[in-house]
């Protein structure tokens, strides 16, 4: 089958599945992949044309436009004037897509007689982490709902401990070869995950390792890249895709396909070690392939995805079935790995608490390389390149715009500082689900002329924005997911010799040392954050001193070259241990 035709078949299958089971979620995912500078104005115009309509499409338009007030008004109007049980159900679907679970419950109560109510009830329970309850809600249902139940049952099966099944295929491993299994990668995804991976792979190759990266089955076609090839080569790094002619319909079926596809690659490549990353489904596949070919495997814990999931759903999510099973599978995966890699001491502490011996844990911190090793530009030069006013002061951040990053607290702190410092501007670089609410907050505070939202930018531009700032800010909320995970962006800001102000959280304090390379402030305290910022903004010498110390520290302790050397030593130890066991 020709690659483009194959990709079209894969894409059509994905769209068809989501269209029949969750059309509003599908629409939202598609719109999020389109340029926000186009989508949001169009959604705003569409929403504004019929401000009192309770049409689910208009509800979705209000959500996409970031107009929370209009969405709430439509929900209230729909509750007061329900046109039919199916109208109520569709309103509930929009509420779920917009992560408004209370409204979803309200509309589900009004949708009792809708033929499709069971499907929406299942999605509501699944959203809350009641996986078994979601499956039960679909008992005895026909057609697409029966397919939905099979899909959910299969995913629950994976969370309950299912694993792929592979035959033994032991072969002689080639020396200094590492096979990486990834969730996503460059050039199709530019996330911190993809950039960290690419930095590791390039540094490993420079250190003499032959590395090959394989991405999850169906990627990147499933994110809309219809022109995807079987391989991409970026900076000399080969990313191999697993793109079958047809994807299995269930999660366990796809993971079995992925395991078989990775095993085929491993037989040809003959790695001496297999290396994968969170979350646990990658570990399931990597472990079975490593056992099949008889080599050690490494599990790199880059975050606590169970906590990331729970952070969007309120405190009750941590008591849910999904959260408990998620944590069990992560702990089991870590304990079964030959080596666990993580980002910092706070994360290592959690891994050890899950039953992994400390000596089996390697810390490989977020680091810098490439252009970040070069002498940074001065503020004025970077601003000139970006078209920013060279005579102003800039605070800001480069990050994914999600709620736990606390950018709303930064906007509030900026509002407190703006009257006192008329030359001050706020620069927010990035995009994400919290962007519409942040724009509304900024407009409500009357700061439209003093805040710059750039949207998503390239890695090269991100470095320029780092250098354009006087102070880089990491105002994360105090949550489980933020207490232990160390982000990459503040490390890059320090490499650019810019002082960092961060929330006083254990993971961030591994990077930002108060009074040495930046300052710390209490999380979710915009007033306290403003006080810390003003101290730096009024003292240029202090900013320069902290920034210079930050760059020296990063170059001494946080480079991808040093990390690659540590990986190499760990891999060699694993292989030596494996040979001793075999002997």
494-508 tens-digit pLDDT:
999 999 999 999 999
| 288: nearest Cα among 254, 262, 249, 327 | 262
CATH fold label, 177-363: Rossmann fold (3.40.50)
Do the Cβ atoms of 346 and 363 come closer than 8 Å? no
The residues near 356 (Cβ < 8 Å, ≥ 6 apart) are: 334, 335, 340
378 vs 386, 428, 452, CA distance in Å? 13, 19, 20
Give 301's Cβ-side CA count (13 Å radius): 34
Decide yes or no: CATH 3.40.50.2000 for domain 370-558: yes
Domains 177-363 and 370-558 share a fold: yes
Q: Where are the domains of the chain?
A: 3-114, 177-363, 370-558
Taking the C-alpha atoms of residue 253 and residue 154, their distance in angstroms, rounded to an integer, is 8
Task: Extract the residue ranges of the chain whose pLDDT is less than 50.
Answer: 583
Helix, strand, coil shares, percent, the chain, to 5: 55, 10, 30
Q: Would you list the DSSP string of 362-420?
A: EE----B-GGGGSPPPPHHHHHHHHT--TTSEEEEEES---GGG-HHHHHHHHHHHTTT
């Amino acid at each position: 089958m020709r690659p483009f035709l194959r990709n079209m078949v894969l894409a059509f299958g994905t769209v068809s599945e989501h269209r029949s089971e969750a059309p509003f979620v599908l629409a939202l995912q598609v719109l999020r992949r389109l340029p926000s500078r186009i989508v949001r104005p169009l959604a705003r115009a569409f929403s504004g044309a019929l401000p009192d309509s309770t049409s689910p499409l208009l509800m979705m338009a209000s959500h996409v436009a970031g107009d929370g007030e209009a969405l709430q008004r439509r929900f209230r109007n729909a509750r007061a004037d329900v046109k039919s049980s199916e109208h109520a159900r569709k309103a509930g679907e929009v509420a779920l897509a917009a992560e408004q679970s209370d409204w979803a419950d309200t509309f589900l109560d009004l949708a009792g007689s809708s033929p499709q109510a069971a499907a929406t009830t299942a999605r509501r329970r699944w959203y809350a982490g009641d996986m078994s309850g979601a499956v039960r809600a679909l008992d005895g249902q026909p057609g697409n709902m029966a397919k939905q139940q099979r899909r959910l049952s299969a995913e629950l099966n994976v969370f309950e401990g299912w694993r792929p099944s592979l035959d033994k295929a032991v072969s002689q491993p080639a020396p200094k070869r590492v096979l990486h299994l990834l969730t996503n990668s460059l050039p199709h995804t530019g996330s911190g995950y993809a950039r960290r991976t690419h930095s590791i792979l390039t540094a490993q190759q420079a250190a003499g390792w032959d590395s090959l990266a394989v991405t999850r089955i169906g990627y990147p076609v499933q994110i809309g890249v219809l022109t995807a090839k079987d391989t991409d080569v970026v900076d000399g790094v080969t990313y191999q895709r697993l793109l079958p002619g047809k994807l299995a319909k269930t999660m366990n079926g796809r993971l079995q396909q992925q395991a078989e596809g990775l095993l085929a690659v491993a037989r040809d490549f003959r790695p001496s070690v297999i290396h994968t990353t969170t979350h646990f489904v990658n570990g399931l596949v990597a472990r079975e392939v490593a056992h099949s070919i008889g080599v050690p495997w490494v599990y790199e814990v880059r975050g606590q995805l169970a906590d990331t999931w729970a952070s969007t759903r309120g405190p009750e999510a941590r008591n849910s079935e999904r959260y408990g099973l998620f944590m069990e599978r992560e702990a089991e995966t870590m304990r079964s790995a030959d080596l666990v890699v993580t980002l910092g001491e706070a994360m290592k502490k959690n891994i050890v608490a899950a039953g992994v011996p400390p000596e089996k844990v390697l810390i490989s911190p977020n680091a810098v390389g490439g252009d970040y090793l070069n002498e940074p530009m001065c503020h004025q030069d970077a601003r000139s390149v970006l078209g920013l006013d060279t005579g102003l002061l800039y605070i800001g951040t480069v990050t994914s715009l999600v709620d736990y990053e606390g950018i709303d607290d930064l906007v509030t702190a900026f509002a407190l500082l703006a009257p006192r410092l008329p030359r001050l501007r706020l620069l927010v670089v990035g995009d994400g689900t919290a962007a519409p609410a942040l724009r509304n907050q900024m407009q409500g505070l009357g700061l439209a002329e003093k805040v710059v939202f750039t949207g998503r930018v390239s890695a090269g531009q991100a470095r320029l924005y780092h250098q354009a700032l006087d102070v880089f800010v990491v105002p994360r909320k105090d949550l489980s997911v933020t207490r232990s995970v160390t982000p990459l962006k503040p490390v890059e800001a320090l490499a650019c010799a810019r002082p960092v102000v961060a929330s006083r959280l254990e993971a961030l304090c591994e990077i930002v040392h108060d009074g040495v390379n930046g300052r710390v402030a209490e999380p979710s305290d915009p007033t306290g954050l403003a006080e810390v910022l003003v101290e730096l903004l009024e003292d240029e010498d202090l900013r320069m001193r902290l920034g210079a110390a930050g760059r020296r520290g990063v170059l001494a302790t946080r480079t991808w070259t040093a990390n690659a050397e540590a990986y190499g030593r760990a891999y060699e130890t694993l292989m030596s241990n494996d040979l001793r066991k075999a002997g």
